[in-house]
Structure 1
Amino acid sequence: MSEQAGASAGRTRNRVVIVDDHAIFRSGLRAELDGRVAVVGEAHDVDSAILAVREHRPEVVLLDVHLPGGTGGGGAEVVRACRDLLEEVQFLAISVSDQAEDVVSVIRAGARGYVTKTISSDELVDAVGVVSTGDAVFSPRLAGFVLDAFGTSSAAQDVRDEELDLLSAREVEVMRLIARGYTYREIASDLFISVKTVESHVSKVLRKLQLSSRHELTRWAEQRRIV
């Protein structure tokens, strides 16, 4: 066996449960992911999803947000019902919906990311890998919904301090994306502004917070748990 083949054979694939009420989508997704992740279970509604997650304890659950069953809470209800497993199981919402209320509800419940069903199979495999480590993944235009929602939530208010109050709402958005590792070009695309405007916002944030680098800004945001 070659060295490359041996490395591939020794690599552990993330175990995944697919939750969607359309059998044809589950079958198609399983086929797309075949050999790249280990699909260990499927579910078609809230109740079967909760059972599947508890039975298989996968690294990642690919979760549709609109599901029948349960008390009508859809994907968010599944996440809430499995909150005691969130140390070991991560939820990645995958949906046709890009509505703010859908994104925010499932993220508030505890999901680590949200992508739309237009995502490519390569991008989805990458997203599964990222989410399995506990990091967050969002389709580009959806990240803004989360930032807006949590920027005004009671949880965010709890961590506000005098320094944070110095920043405008837009500067807070830019600061969070910088702290998450986005490039200036990615931030510009996500917020529909120019790269030059991003640079201006970053300069103002660093000056107001009396910081000298992106590294210091990231550490500042992490310490306040507002990344």
Structure 2
Amino acid sequence: MRTESADTIRTVLLDDEGLARESFSSVLSQEEGVELIGSTDSPWDALALAERSAAHIILTDVIVGHEKALEVVGGATGLGAKIVVITHQESEHHLSRALKLGARGYLLKWTTRQELTAAIRAVASGNAYICPPMASLLLDRFKILPPLSGPHETAFPELSEREVQVLKDIALGMSNHEIAQDLSLTIATVKSHVSNVLAKLGLRDRLQAGILAHRKGLTRN
């Protein structure tokens, strides 16, 4: 039997595809620690649901019916709700637009149950989640741009040499465990370095750190 607590992630589902809405509703309804407040095919109803329930997450497609869903439900972000997009749209245009409108997660509709719930938990905890195919698309965009600065040792003058190494590994998609193995550090030390990197660079999360590292050419060699 599912139990609810103060940590339960209240979620609203917005999608105009009946089968997709039914499938995602089934997954969320069975997930421990996630409460499905309701599902709808109306962006305005989703916004009202999110406002009434103080939802943590709105799971939505980019376009629902004839409505630009993100523009509508984005109004709930001022109340603390975070947007996770789940869509068929694989273009950089749709990804960039979603991020500009405040989305903190981006998934494709053929995602797995595990990835869907992992993304919801990550975003609810204050992080970001972009599925690997779309993250690669986003990072590939920066590969064609010249570095913003010269040698790697001067690209991040505010970081120590070890912190630069950690940042590079973050940009390569490594987990804390993998970074610890790569640099022969403890997990606790890696976590400390990651926190310092984010704080010194004024970044919210690892995604922003990875993008900045790619932009400055840190992963070129």
Asked whether the two chains share a fold, i.e. TM above 0.5, the reply is yes
- Structure 2 runs not aligned, ≥5 long: 157-164, 184-189, 210-221
Asked if 1:49 corresponds to 2:46, the answer is yes
Please list, as runs of the form range in 1=range in 2, the aligned pairs for 1:4-43 lying within 5 A after superposition.
9=3, 12-36=7-31, 37-43=34-40
Alignment partner, residue 178 of structure 1: 169
Alignment partner, residue 158 of structure 1: none
Q: Is the 8 Å Cα contact of residues 46 and 73 (structure 2) preserved in structure 1?
A: no
C-alpha distance in structure 1 between counterparts of 2:168 and 2:84, whole Å: 20
C-alpha distance in structure 2 between counterparts of 1:47 and 1:100, whole Å: 26
1:48 shift after superposition: 2.3
Which residue, 107, 123, 141 being the options, matches 1:115?
Answer: 107
C-alpha distance in structure 2 between counterparts of 1:142 and 1:179, whole Å: 17
C-alpha distance in structure 2 between counterparts of 1:150 and 1:104, whole Å: 13
C-alpha distance in structure 2 between counterparts of 1:125 and 1:217, whole Å: 24
Cα distance change on mapping 1:10 and 1:30 into 2, 3 Å: closer
Structure 1 residues 35-56: Cα deviation after superposition (integer angstroms, max 9, x where no partner): 3121101221332222222222
**Number of residue-to-residue matches in the alignment:** 178
Amino acid at match of 1:143: A
Structure 1 residues 46-76: Cα deviation after superposition (integer angstroms, max 9, x where no partner): 3222222222221111111121355xxx232
1:116 shift after superposition: 0.6
Q: CA RMSD in A?
A: 3.7
Cα distance change on mapping 1:144 and 1:115 into 2, 3 Å: same
Amino acid at match of 1:29: F
Cα distance change on mapping 1:214 and 1:17 into 2, 3 Å: closer
Secondary structure of the corresponding residue to residue 142 of structure 1: helix
1:29 shift after superposition: 1.3
Secondary structure of the corresponding residue to residue 21 of structure 1: coil
- Structure 1 runs not aligned, ≥5 long: 153-162, 188-198, 203-212
Secondary structure of the corresponding residue to residue 16 of structure 2: coil
Which residue, 125, 149, 152 being the options, matches 1:165?
Answer: 149
Secondary structure of the corresponding residue to residue 123 of structure 2: helix
C-alpha distance in structure 2 between counterparts of 1:66 and 1:177, whole Å: 36
Secondary structure of the corresponding residue to residue 51 of structure 2: helix
Which residue, 65, 68, 71 being the options, matches 2:65?
Answer: 68
Q: Is the 8 Å Cα contact of residues 92 and 113 (structure 1) preserved in structure 2?
A: yes
Q: Please identify which structure carries the higher helix content.
A: 1
Secondary structure of the corresponding residue to residue 81 of structure 1: helix
- With structure 1 as the length reference, what TM-score do the two structures score? 0.63
Secondary structure of the corresponding residue to residue 38 of structure 1: strand
1:175 shift after superposition: 8.0
Alignment partner, residue 74 of structure 2: 80
- With structure 2 as the length reference, what TM-score do the two structures score? 0.64
Q: Is the 8 Å Cα contact of residues 74 and 83 (structure 2) preserved in structure 1?
A: no
Which residue, 92, 113, 118 being the options, matches 1:100?
Answer: 92
C-alpha distance in structure 2 between counterparts of 1:33 and 1:123, whole Å: 12
Cα distance change on mapping 1:149 and 1:35 into 2, 3 Å: same
Amino acid at match of 1:46: P
Cα distance change on mapping 1:151 and 1:107 into 2, 3 Å: farther
1:95 shift after superposition: 0.7
Q: Is the 8 Å Cα contact of residues 57 and 82 (structure 2) preserved in structure 1?
A: yes
